[in-house]
Amino acid sequence: MDKQQMRIELIGHTEREPAAEFAVYAVDRANKLIETARVDAGGNFKLSPKALSGAAQVLIGPVAEKFSSIDKTRVITYRAAQFKQALETSGVIELAKNDWYKLLWIKRCVSGSVKHCYPWPLLLTQLVQQVALTNIGLLSAKAHTRLAANAMMDAAIAKPGYSKFWPHHCDIVCDGLVEVYRRTCCCTPWVVFDPRLPDLVDILERFHPDVPVIKWPPRPEPDPSPFTFPFFKSGAIDEMAINAGADLHALKSLPIEQIPAYINARAWLRCSCGSATKVAQGSIRPDGEFNICWSERPHLMLLNCHEDYAYIIKQNINGISTVIYDGVAAHQWYHYSEHPTLTSHHPQAQSCRHDPFPNEEGAFVLLQDIGMTGSYNLKTPDATDWNSVGVPAYNDGLAFPAANAIAAKGVYRDRNWGGSLLLRYHFSEPMKTVGAKYYRVSVSASDSIGNPTGARTYLPASQWRYYEIVGTDIYVNKQALGPHNAGTQNNLYEIPYDADRDWQSGQYHAVLDTTQFANGRFLFTVEVFDAAGKLLRPQGTTAPVGVTSAAAHFTFRRWYQETGPTAEVPFAALTHMLWWDNRKADAEIIDLRKDHAPNTAECQFILGTASSNFSLGYRAYHPEPMFLLDHRLWWHRGLGTATGVLTSPNPNPDNVGVPPNPPHESAQSSFGTMLGGHSKCSFTVNLHSNVKTFNGIGTLDGLDGWDQGAFALDIS
């Protein structure tokens, strides 16, 4: 029997609203599907008389591949007799808005990428200094935090600002679950005497974190866990907490007529937002990207309102579901059209290795990183043999080379190495094809012309971590790379090829503890061996004397520029030069001076007039003058936050007062300036010498020099 033409009309539906895609379903008393009729854009559908007469119910609902999967909350249900009667009466099925609105579902999609960055301690220190001075006005009003505020300010004065010479290493996260959350925000402009101000201040006071006490002077102690720190929420940086101190200070100190302009310029203050609701979830792709879609009913936004999206990322690590990024808790919200890069700083986040040299072809070996610093930042002479280099220039062996010694003064250029250096090499995958099984890294002292001298020390490698993915779980295991013996060779380590394991990112092939050696220039060398312990050397190169070797089709290369080709090194091994120095900087306050006259007494109560001048004699230097970044000298009055600088220039990049020279005299400051309206008060004076010493990850602050003194001024 032919199907009959029928029609459904959506009463009140306009062109502004999305079109509905729905169907009519005839079902029997057991709710078993008899027939389906798809409804077209004009509301027309065809249902056979047999299906209509045999149906117990007629349902109008969304289009679905399987009838059993239809969401029953989105279905309009008729008894079959009612449905036929409505068609016979008017020829159409008329649906009121409350009915047809549930049929209007639209598709929404969000996308983004995920990465994991470390080390977090550098970021932590930067965040502390970022908020320290803006928070002082708030913290110093509380007696129990006054010393913490002063310590933060002293630390901010003592240490230089951060620059591009601080490495920050990131890798993609290629496995995990992304949960999508949404909230509605309404951003009504603020006016003078806005009644919402007290509530906003209350919110900011709850968000404002208790900034951890910075110990002053600093000590070379382990860094605290990042997740006891209030600016981190489950691996994500809480931007609301970062800004809360400055915002709260501004709202309490600005004239009332300037507050609306301040708030209206900051969306996180201007907008009032509802609670977060989870709307969808999906997985991260192997390339670190995600694209998550879901269907939902359309909804209208009120004037000045919009929707924001935030994300929570979870990984199953060794059977435990771990939140590595919580954008909801950290108040990191994005607009629907944005493609954000979500950055986790969680120490357990599992990131993926990636090839940093995708344009290099064939079998090759090069030094990739020292710590988290690309080896192109290392100034090293060209190799002259498998274990030697050319005559070094003044800054060979240092990091971030300057054009000349003057250009390196007072900046993070020509940095000396120190501490434990983590060496990461790049063994291209074709090296496995040419038979390279093992590698060995060694170090020896360098003479003045770049030749090795003295004993050769072989360096160890740490255990390497790798992933095993079982279902949705990520298991982390460890494998020792060595040491192995093969043939006549020992101290050999297996080359961890990508084809062997799903290795974690951020791992190293050798650990060089520079504190176990004298200070100076050294040479470090990597060699490659086959499974039998035979040295593999590039075609056309000469083997070291007395070493059994075989030529193979590969090259050693040197990464000498950030982008562009690398340089071929035509020798049987790859050697670089490093210059390290683990000595501390000196910082010593020798005397206090009134009008240039030195006084070395332990306890000093200095009497004078407002026009009397204060200065001091001091020493600030590094045993190798190149390796002092700068020194800073300042006074601090009583329990307040008043300070003044005594270095000229400030900071001063020069070594001063180096024995046997006499102590250097600081700049002067008048008693009246220092007392600031008081007739007498106590003071501390602080001296800090900053080293350039670098381990490829951060500055070794424990080698900084510092000293303090205390005295009182009296003009009464």
pLDDT digit string, tens, across residues 10-34: 888 877 776 777 899 999 998 899 9
Closest to 116 measured CA to CA, from 315, 276, 310 = 315
Convert the pLDDT of each residue in 481-511 to its tens digit.
999 999 999 999 999 998 898 888 778 999 9
- Cis status, amide bond into 392, omega within 30 of 0: no
pTM listed for this prediction:
0.73
**How would residue 165 be classed by pLDDT, with cut points 50, 70 and 90?**
low
Q: Is the pLDDT of residue 607 over 70?
A: yes
Q: Is the pLDDT of residue 531 over 60?
A: yes
The DSSP element (H or E) to which 398 belongs, if any, is: none
| % residues pLDDT > 90 (the chain) | 53
How far apart are alpha carbons 309 and 313 in whole angstroms?
13
Closest to 600 measured CA to CA, from 589, 610, 591, 612 = 591
Instruction: Supply the pLDDT for residue 108.
Output: 87
Instruction: Supply the pLDDT for residue 138.
Output: 44
Q: Is the pLDDT of residue 275 over 70?
A: yes
Secondary structure (3-state) at 274: coil
How far apart are alpha carbons 669 and 684 in whole angstroms?
14
Q: Which domains does the chain have, with CATH numbers?
A: 4-104 (2.60.40), 111-344 (no CATH), 364-580 (no CATH), 586-714 (2.60.40)
Instruction: Supply the pLDDT for residue 537.
Output: 97
Q: Pull the structure tokens for residue 588.
A: 């010593």
Instruction: Supply the pLDDT for residue 162.
Output: 55
**How would residue 125 be classed by pLDDT, with cut points 50, 70 and 90?**
low
**How would residue 355 be classed by pLDDT, with cut points 50, 70 and 90?**
low
* Other beta carbons less than 10 A from residue 623's beta carbon: 14
Q: Is the pLDDT of residue 465 over 70?
A: yes
How far apart are alpha carbons 473 and 476 in whole angstroms?
10
Convert the pLDDT of each residue in 387-432 to its tens digit.
999 999 999 999 999 999 999 999 999 999 999 999 999 999 999 9
Long-range Cβ contact pairs of 546-553 (< 8 A, separation 24 or more)? 548/487, 548/488, 552/363, 552/434, 552/435, 552/436, 553/362, 553/363, 553/434
| % residues pLDDT > 70 (the chain) | 86
Q: What is the mean pLDDT of residues 185-203?
A: 83
Q: Which range among 57-61, 70-74, 133-137, 482-486 shows the weakest confidence by mean pLDDT?
A: 133-137
Q: Are 669 and 643 in contact (CB under 8 A)?
A: no
**How would residue 631 be classed by pLDDT, with cut points 50, 70 and 90?**
very high
Instruction: Supply the pLDDT for residue 157.
Output: 75
Instruction: Supply the pLDDT for residue 252.
Output: 83
Which amino acid, 698? G
Convert the pLDDT of each residue in 324-338 to its tens digit.
999 998 888 999 889
Instruction: Supply the pLDDT for residue 295.
Output: 79
Q: Is the pLDDT of residue 356 over 80?
A: no
C-alpha separations of 601 from 16, 345, 607, 681 in Å: 86, 50, 14, 18
How far apart are alpha carbons 328 and 7 in whole angstroms?
46
In order, the DSSP letters of 177-228 are: EEEEEEEEEE-PPP-TT-TTHHHHHHHHHHH---PPPPPSS----PPPPGGG
Mean confidence (pLDDT) of the chain: 86
- Give the CA dihedral 293, 295, 297, 298, nearest 10 degrees: 40
Instruction: Supply the pLDDT for residue 633.
Output: 96
Higher pLDDT, 246 or 604: 604
Convert the pLDDT of each residue in 542-555 to its tens digit.
999 989 999 999 99
Q: What is the mean pLDDT of residues 421-446?
A: 96
Q: Which range among 55-64, 222-231, 642-651 shows the weakest confidence by mean pLDDT?
A: 222-231
Q: Are 632 and 643 in contact (CB under 8 A)?
A: no
How far apart are alpha carbons 248 and 424 in whole angstroms?
45
Q: What is the mean pLDDT of residues 246-272?
A: 82
Instruction: Supply the pLDDT for residue 141.
Output: 39
DSSP assignment letter at 300: P
Higher pLDDT, 79 or 145: 79
| 363: CB partners within 8 A, 6+ apart | 428, 430, 431, 433, 434, 436, 552, 553, 554, 555
How far apart are alpha carbons 241 and 131 in whole angstroms?
10
Higher pLDDT, 243 or 665: 665
